[in-house]
Chains A and B, each alone.
Chain A
Amino acid sequence: MPSNMSCVLCCSRLHGRYRELAPHLVPLDYTNNPDIRVPLTLIITMPELKENPFRDRIVETFSEDGHGNLTFNDFVDMFSVLCETSPRELKTIYAFKIYDFNRDNFICKEDLEKTLNKLTKGELTPEEVTLVCDKAIEEADLDGDNKLSFADFENMISKAPDFLR
């Protein structure tokens, strides 16, 4: 871990937040880099993630084991990307991974349907969901394989100035 004074401050603040999720699991002393993982169910109780419809996917994406159990390093990674000042390209990369539910490096129609259902919390009818997904893929797919690769996704996002996090 970097050892500057102000970075120690920021890391210790993050460590405080990490610890308050599971005080019985996380030790105060991290100098030996213990292999502690805070489970998914505790992480999604954080106020920043609690109401986020993609909280499960976000935590899974940053976890090393793929199941959402974060080590402290993963925790710091997650916050450094979700931070306001993190660059847009980085956010685009991670957004693509988060929306890619089946982790095949493409956003296929099923991924899109799951995204939409999480966004609208089931308010749209299934026909509308299918229609929206078809239209969205038609609009954004550039190379014609009926899936969104990262390049298609990035191209579409670059035209949307409102892509914030």
Chain B
Amino acid sequence: MEAGLESPVDEEGVHDSFNQLIAEQSQNGGLDALELQELQRELDEEGRDNVAYLSSPGHDYGRRQERWEAEREDDGRQTDSLAGERWSSATLKILSSMPSRTIGRSRGAIISQYYNRTMQLRRRRQSRPSIRDFSRSARPSIRGYGMEGDTTDSEGAEKREHLVNNLQNLSVSDRVRMLRGMPLSVAEKSELRYMQSWYSWLSFIHSLQLWQVALKRVSGRFGTGVLSYFLFLKTLLFFNLFLFLVTGAFLVLPQAVHPPLFSQGRPSFSGLELLTGAGYFSDSVMYYGYYSNYTLRKSCRVDTGGQNMSISNGTGMDCPSKRHSYNMPMAYFFTIGVSFFITGIILVYSMSKSFGQSFRIDKSHSILAMKVFCSWDFKVLKKSSVKLMSENICTQLKELLAEVNHKHVKNTVCQKLWRLTVHGIAWTICIASTTGCVIGIYYFSEHMHQVRQDEEASMLALPVVVSVINLLLPGLFNAAAWMEDYDSPSVRTYVAIGRNLMLKVSVLGVLCYHWLGRVAADPCWEDFVGQELYRFLIMDFIFTLLDTLFGEFLWRLFSEKGLKRRRRPVFDIARNVLDLIYGQTLAWLGVLFTPLLPAVQILKLLLLFYIKKGSVMMNCQAPRKPYRVSQMTTIFITLLCIPSFIGASVCVTYTMWSITPSSSCGPFRQLKTMFQAGKRWVEELEKDNPSLSMLARAHAYLVENPFFLFVGAGIFLIVIYFHSQVVDGQRKIISLLQEQIENEGEDKKFLITRLQSIHEQKRTPTRRLTKESVKP
């Protein structure tokens, strides 16, 4: 036994098999090295059964292993936590060479482990293991996944060849993922020679990121919570960039190159246009009304001198050439539709990815352990922030301990009633104030609509009122929450978000009703709605600036100089993110009426980034309360998708489907609904090309018949139900596997005690013999 273990660089000497060992022990006195080497194969089979031990980490060169081994040999009397007894050094040698403590340590083991994984991945990509392949054991096992068998050859170089072969056969993304996940050093990975490019791409793409240095500074001082706000801003910027590129390329550019024939003279530029969007901007490519409702043809202009162009929808009469033609109504309809569709897909995809990362299937019970290991924010670099974070963690741990150890103080019935009344009052205040404001906006907007003056500045009244409401009411909600005094900070955050959301949704709802209900009866109403949305966006930006100025900058001056406190204001992440979502909803609502609105939003977001960053660095301090970043990020992206984007797309769809476009301006004039442009195009296609009549009929049937919508929705619901059942099944398997792990632990303890007892039995007869031989 003692002589058996050489340097553990050769893996063979390191693995043992318990069954064989016990059998050997009961037959003869010990094992020599050769038999050890035979037995290790058996243990390979058995050891690989338990995934838990397989993925032990290891990034060790042989030297470190040797050193450790030497230490262990010296200190032969380490107490094992399995039982308080003193184990013989033989037992300890076996324990120290158990698979769970050695697999993954040496390079060869890592390569063989990853060989198994790539094999598994290849098989999974081809087919799933069938139930038939599972061995008939009483407990579920993962044997069917091909974990055994492939590792019969033990040559290190051969293993590496197999691994390289496997990696070559994987797809590029799988290969990259495998390589990045391997705990081998860079030097070794570069030995897997042809896969060098992934490493360079990783660094190259990372260095191209926008605002990288600024974000690093912010996160270094404030942590990942505040960073998440700026990352959200960056995400919104990319959405708007995409929208701007699409509308710019397909709508703005063609129309700008072919200005409409009958355009009135524009008033001259005065500075007020930047705020109101009317005046100089009013009859420009910025708004819906400018866009032509005929097919733009390049060649006609040259032939007919630009006169007498037919303005009936669809075909231009006198132009022979059909090549450089651009059907503006169709382009408008499809561009808006497709860009919304693609934005929706991107949003749903990022929402589902975020969900997958932050919400786990299993209900977690290990709160304290997670707090110890996972609550430290490694992005924070500044000393004072680090100290603050350390104090935070202390407080949280103390609170958790108190919660776990002591029973909750039971509230008396009186206290419960009192708390209920306080909550009731707070909610009543919030709902009443929201309703009051919404009714106020309703009547005020009606008044402004009826009393529409020629003064441009008066059109700013409604946006200003709405922005003031959006600014002041969350303050009232905060005061109500302070009065309620919630125990848990996360509940308080959720309630604040809920109330804010309720306010913004109601305000936007009443405004949409005003625009699509009342204003839609006016001539050229789309231009007016587009201008309104532009005004709302600009006013929102101005009021955010004012809020940053007063809320953060002046408040800090006041509290430092006036009240002589060291505490600076805290950056309210939730409120700022909701403001961003509100602005983005306005932008999405307005794209139909103002194709250049994404450009305005891009400018606004760029300015907002620098202003907010400057303000945060100058005026705010790191947050004191714990902030669960990934959960909050998921909530924010969900809010961006569901009320914001879905609401905007419902409004746009309703406008396109049901509302009569104005008859004097825009690409859809003299049509019953905007949607009819599509129908008309299909009819035209059918006229030009009779063989496409099938397509036209299919189109008419599919799109106009609600039956298919119901069938589609039904299939969708079935798929969702199926997936939820799969999740339930996985939950059950997780609990079974946990049970199995516990049982394996028990098995291990049992085997070790038996081994020890057999060894003791073996030893005592010999001891007795020697004692007897000593006795005279």
Contact = CB atoms under 8 A, between A and B. Distances in A.
A139 B369 contact: yes
A140 B203 CA distance: 36
Interface in A98-148: 99, 103-106, 108, 112, 115-116, 119-121, 123-124, 128, 131-132, 135-137, 139-140, 142-147
Nearest to A128: B401
Contacts of A153: 373
B81 A146 contact: yes
Max count, chain B CB within 10 A of own CB: residue among A77, A85, A99: A77
A147 B78 CA distance: 15
Nearest to A148: B369
Interface string A1-26: 11111110110000000000000000
A82 to B, nearest CB: 8
A162 interface: yes
A161 B357 contact: yes
Contacts of A7: 196, 199-200, 203-204
B167 to A, nearest CB: 16
A154 interface: yes
Given A131-B401, A136-B372, A164-B378, A159 B362 contact: yes
B746 A80 contact: no
A151 B51 CA distance: 8
Interface string B740-773: 0110111011000000000000000000000000
Contact of B372 (A10, A112, A154, A159): A112
A41 interface: no
B359 A90 contact: no
Given A131-B405, A140-B366, A160-B370, A93 B183 contact: yes
A119 B372 contact: yes
B381 A90 contact: no
A137 B370 CA distance: 11
Contacts of B367: 139
Among A50, A132, A157, A165, which residue has the most Cβ atoms of chain B within 10 A?
Answer: A132
A51 B386 contact: yes
Nearest to B741: A142
Contacts, number: 206
A153 B56 CA distance: 10
Interface stretch (B25-33, B331-339, B389-397, B544-552): B389-397
Contacts of A6: 200-201, 203-204
B307 interface: no
A95 B372 CA distance: 13
A96 B55 CA distance: 12
Contacts of B744: 143
Given A119-B390, A139-B367, A83 B206 contact: yes
Q: How large is the interface on B (under 10, 10 to 19, 20 to 34, 35 or more residues)?
A: 35 or more
Contacts of B201: 6
Contacts of B186: 73, 76-77, 80
B374 A119 contact: no
A142 B738 contact: yes
Contact of B180 (A90, A137, A143): A90
Given A6-B201, A132-B401, A135-B404, A160 B390 contact: no
Contacts of B196: 2-4, 7
Interface stretch (B61-69, B453-461, B587-595): B61-69
B681 interface: no
A99 B369 CA distance: 13
B689 to A, nearest CB: 51
Interface in A38-93: 47-48, 50-53, 64, 66, 73-74, 76-77, 80, 83-87, 89-90, 93
Contacts of A116: 372
Contacts of A3: 196
A10 B203 contact: yes
Contacts of A156: 366, 369-370, 373
Nearest to B385: A51
Interface in B157-213: 177, 180-183, 185-187, 190, 196-197, 199-204, 206-207
B52 interface: yes
Nearest to A143: B745
Given A7-B204, A89-B181, A90-B182, 16 more contacts: A9-B203, A47-B381, A73-B187, A94-B59, A96-B57, A119-B393, A120-B393, A132-B368, A135-B401, A139-B369, A143-B748, A145-B745, A150-B57, A159-B360, A159-B366, A164-B379
Interface of A: 1-7, 9-10, 47-48, 50-53, 64, 66, 73-74, 76-77, 80, 83-87, 89-90, 93-97, 99, 103-106, 108, 112, 115-116, 119-121, 123-124, 128, 131-132, 135-137, 139-140, 142-147, 149-154, 156-165
28 contacts: A2-B197, A7-B199, A66-B64, A73-B186, A90-B181, A93-B57, A103-B68, A105-B105, A106-B101, A115-B373, A128-B401, A136-B372, A142-B741, A142-B742, A143-B744, A145-B745, A146-B81, A149-B52, A151-B53, A151-B55, A156-B366, A156-B370, A159-B366, A159-B370, A160-B374, A162-B375, A162-B630, A162-B631
